Amino acid sequence: MIQYPYINPVFIRLGPLKIRWYGLMYVLGFVAVHILVSYQTRLYSLKKLEEHFENLNFYLIVSLILGGRLGYVLFYNFSFYFAHPTEILSIWQGGMSFHGALIACFLGGWFYCWKNKLNYLESGDIYVVTAPIGLGLGRLGNFINGELYGRVSDVSWAMVFPEGGSSPRHPSQLYEFFLEGVLLFILLWVLRIFHHRHRWPHGTLCAIFLVFYGLFRVFVEFFREPDFQLGFVLGPMTMGQVLSSLMILVGAGLFVAGRFRPSRSE
């Protein structure tokens, strides 16, 4: 067993203002996406996307926050929030859903691209290769908070989390950090090069992201403690596995559909 390295979840206090590590991870993720998307628009001479870059970022950030919260309400704790609707706005109490944020970002991005006549799938490929950075940082924030920990285990690297009782557990947040963050980013960034060099159809990287994130998430959920208010929702499957399985299907469908579109000629 490894000792859980307790870190104060509050990064810094400025009078009555508390800046938490988890919130800081969101900011760092937004900054990283901003830098890498901007870099790609210049590298690949995407002039039109570069012109709309800041406004599209704003749409996506708002979509992410709203979608993450509403996704948690709908997917993970609907009965509670149905009975206490005013609590939906209490974001500071925690409760965000990756899948809800993803759906909202895809919808918000589609609306902005449609409204401004941008190529939606091309823009999506640019953004999606940077997404694992934010995902990885978010999982580090979960680890620092001691939340979303794993199931009870006797592996040598198990940890006793402050809110997880006295039994050692899988540090599943770190599994997600390495798989959904580090490994997925490396995979997509390398494929970004081939995508441009071989003129793969637009949307290919979005499809690969959906499939591989879904696979990684389904795998890690076998080691992660199910949400206490839900437990298992479909036989031995957690809500995260159900939603991630749908991601895999959508990603596979998008990938296959791309094979029927001609390769880009620009």
What confidence tens digit (pLDDT) does each residue in 134-157 have? 999 999 999 999 999 999 999 999
Predicted confidence (pLDDT) per residue in 166-188, tens digit: 999 999 999 999 999 999 999 99
Whole-prediction pTM: 0.93
Assigned domain for 64 exists: yes
User: pLDDT band for position 84 (50/70/90)?
Assistant: confident
Enclosing domain of residue 206: 10-259
pLDDT for res 116:
96
Assigned domain for 4 exists: no
Tokens of 221: 């959920």
Assigned domain for 118 exists: yes
pLDDT for res 48:
92
Assigned domain for 5 exists: no
82 Cβ contact list (under 8 Å, min separation 6): none
Are the C-beta atoms of 127 and 109 separated by less than 8 Å? yes
Phi, psi of 14 (to 5 degrees): -120, 85
Query: What is the Cα–Cα distance from 120 to 100, expressed in whole angstroms?
Result: 19
Place of tokens 């902005």: 112
Assigned domain for 192 exists: yes
Overall number of domains in the chain: 1
What is the average pLDDT score of the chain?
92
Instruction: Count CA atoms closer than 13 A to 6's CA, side-chain side.
Output: 5
Assigned domain for 2 exists: no
Chain-centroid distance, C-alpha 219: 15
Residue of higher predicted confidence among 19 and 178: 178
Are the C-beta atoms of 18 and 10 separated by less than 8 Å? yes
Closest CA to 240 of 217, 265, 259, 263: 217
Are the C-beta atoms of 176 and 141 separated by less than 8 Å? no
pLDDT for res 15:
79
134 Cβ contact list (under 8 Å, min separation 6): 25, 26, 29, 30, 32, 33
- For residue 112, is pLDDT > 80? yes
Query: What is the Cα–Cα distance from 122 to 56, expressed in whole angstroms?
Result: 13
Are the C-beta atoms of 19 and 131 separated by less than 8 Å? no
Assigned domain for 266 exists: no
Are the C-beta atoms of 170 and 150 separated by less than 8 Å? yes
Calculate mean pLDDT across residues 198-219: 95
Residue 18 pairs with which residues in a beta bridge? 13
Assigned domain for 60 exists: yes
